[in-house]
A and B are shown apart, each in its own frame.
Chain A
């Protein structure tokens, strides 16, 4: 099946017309958005690069006012924000792209943490491997968990998935408590960390060195974003959007929905496991206390707040959910209440989040987008314009 638009027929033109109108739908940031898309690639890079550098060196810069100090160490806060952003990115694949509500995402996060702990901590009797190897291993193991959980539930309606995943998150925590190998509250100490030069016996990636951990996570986020971007522009990504918009219609049009839901679930799980392993490495200690369901809901809130379906949006959402309680320590106690109420209010008043998913669904590539716009404007003015074709 091909979703490439055929440019000749009348029906397709009408469709493209609608599509182009959707693209130009006035939104809060539409002015900025259309201005941005009109800029040449070189100029876009010229603006993006300094911003990227600024973000990359955020823990070193330690901007006044924004900083979480003296309440919380700023580089560690940065790492926490990056970790949340990575988690939100992963959950966004499941919730935002494929439209499956996963309420037990912390379960995958926990599995990733335990993989890192089991294979690096001296408290574990398993074979010990270098920490960096546990990152892909954690991803593999969580994908296996994701598929095992997905196969029975993804054939059913979305509501069941929600409650089964909710249970799954809790079960992982309970298993970590009651299976002796998992050491319950005692946990695993001295989880490994990446190699690096040590300064007076303190390794570069020590628990309290937020900066290297933050930078490592940002690099991983960038890689994950590029890979996810590629998946989203592929057949898989189009299938996800089709499933999210209307599962029955997608199935009728020949999209094997079950297969692509498993894909979404597996991809999301892998990223969850990856962030879990990173978290375990930074904290250096894993026990059963940090993986409760409330954390799952915080993750969900990050995705919804930022704008589910929009990668940049969920990264900002993730960073915000982590940042707000760290910065404003006086309201940290109320954070679950605030985020719970925020979920309800967002759903009622602004279900697309702070930065909604962009409306152009099929026309991902720049050229394709420009082409749909051109055709639409041609139909409107009944004469071809050269401007949009460039």
Chain B
């Protein structure tokens, strides 16, 4: 990548030509990242809807899934160079690693809820106490992983070589991009339908609306909270598989941190507590971050751009694009 900044010696410069030339490939790539953000953002949104808590440790729930995914794949024989195997077998391996990642994330989310948040709830702790616990738990998990795996990233794993599938606007769209975006959207639609149509989903909505009344009406609040954390964990696990696919060298102990902030931004952008908002916010943020990164000429700008987006939304429309209330969702 060209670094227009280094020679100019100035503060910030824009690289419009690069953005213009590769506009569509940047767009498709941005949508792929956006789908991953959206899946992680769901975890933030659901927990926020039910508990009114920003679960900072969700980024660690996500990265534990990524580790589980990498371990499963390397146990199945995957490595930096792709394996030659029939498509069916490849799909089987991917599904297996996805299930492992989901299980790991769900277990971490469950333990987090039981060990860190539940004692606080039973003690009627203040909101500040919840936030501080969340950040403390996030760090504890991060550095547990650090002590176990060290400061280096896991060896990258190539699951398959992305094949071009079709061409639009003179840009090829590859199988990896399609897989990630389609799978993410399917999972989000399932979650949305789950919350709208099932009995448990109704419970989630009821607790989000009014926990006390929900309890009086016979909703088991504790069970709903645990379910919400586990669903968030499962989605984060799925996201972690796509993350390993897209960013093979990104599985490192603090790899979840920035992604967590971005996913939270996505959730706020769409309207925190709003499931469809998470999808819209995630995809939009993926696009904005990718455009910003190319325009400003350094991959680290994508983090800065996402953050600026977060501040801007908070200034202009804190309820997000689609409004922010899980409780107001109608079946």
Contacts and interface: CB of A to CB of B under 8 A. Distances in A.
A177 B147 CA distance: 26
Contacts of B91: none
Nearest to A151: B315
A339 B123 contact: no
B130 to A, nearest CB: 8
A152 B131 contact: no
Given A179-B12, A339-B139, A167 B310 contact: yes
Interface stretch (A47-55, A158-166, A188-196, A261-269): A158-166
B314 A152 contact: yes
Given A179-B11, A339-B139, A344-B140, A174 B132 contact: no
Contact of B298 (A160, A178, A293, A340): A178
B137 A340 contact: yes
B266 to A, nearest CB: 12
A180 B5 contact: yes
B50 to A, nearest CB: 14
A340 B142 contact: yes
B116 A174 contact: no
Interface in A153-201: 153, 156, 158-160, 162-164, 166-168, 170-171, 174-175, 177-181
Contacts of B318: 156, 160
B44 to A, nearest CB: 9
Interface stretch (B19-27, B97-105, B201-209, B300-308): B300-308
A292 B182 CA distance: 36
Contacts of B53: 159
A178 B139 contact: no
Contacts of A304: 132
Interface string B156-171: 0000000000000000
Contacts of B143: 334, 336-337, 340
B139 A336 contact: yes
B5 A337 contact: no
Interface string A325-359: 00000000110110111111001100100000000
A103 B304 CA distance: 17
B6 A167 contact: no
Contacts of B314: 152-153, 156, 160, 164
Contact size range, A? 35 or more
B190 interface: no
A280 interface: no
Contacts of B6: 180
Contacts of B301: 178
Contact of A351 (B115, B116, B125): B125
Q: Which of B11, B52, B119, B314 has the most CB of A within 10 A?
A: B314
Contacts of A166: 56, 135, 261
B177 interface: no
Nearest to B257: A293
Interface string A358-380: 00000000000000000000000
A348 B139 contact: no
A88 interface: no
A137 interface: no
B53, B135, B143, B261 pick with most chain A CB within 10 angstroms: B135
Range class of the B interface residue count: 35 or more
A344 B307 contact: no
A101 interface: yes
B124 to A, nearest CB: 11
B77 interface: no
A385 to B, nearest CB: 37
A340 B138 contact: yes
Interface string B104-131: 0000000000011001100101111111
Nearest to B298: A178
A343 B133 contact: yes
A39 B10 CA distance: 62
B1 to A, nearest CB: 12
A153 B307 CA distance: 13
B120 A347 contact: yes
B5 A158 contact: no
Contacts of B179: none
Interface string A83-101: 0000000000001000101
A103 B311 contact: no
B247 interface: no
A170 B265 CA distance: 14
A143 interface: no
A343 B311 contact: no
Nearest to A153: B314
A300 B132 CA distance: 9
B147 A101 contact: no
Given A101-B128, A163-B54, A334-B147, A344 B116 contact: yes
Contact of B135 (A103, A174, A175, A181): A103
B144 interface: yes
B132 A168 contact: no
Given A340-B136, A348-B125, A351-B129, 14 more contacts: A99-B128, A152-B312, A156-B318, A158-B128, A164-B310, A166-B135, A178-B304, A297-B139, A341-B136, A341-B140, A343-B132, A343-B133, A343-B136, A347-B125
Interface of B: 5-6, 8-12, 52-54, 56, 115-116, 119-120, 123, 125-133, 135-144, 146-147, 257-258, 261, 264-265, 268, 298, 300-301, 303-304, 307, 310-312, 314-315, 318
27 contacts: A101-B131, A152-B312, A152-B314, A152-B315, A153-B311, A153-B314, A162-B135, A167-B307, A170-B258, A171-B304, A174-B303, A175-B304, A179-B11, A181-B9, A333-B147, A336-B143, A339-B139, A340-B138, A341-B136, A343-B135, A344-B136, A344-B140, A347-B120, A347-B132, A348-B116, A348-B133, A351-B129
3 nearest CB pairs, A to B: A343-B136, A340-B139, A340-B140
Interface of A: 95, 99, 101, 103, 149, 152-153, 156, 158-160, 162-164, 166-168, 170-171, 174-175, 177-181, 293-294, 297, 300-301, 304, 333-334, 336-337, 339-344, 347-348, 351
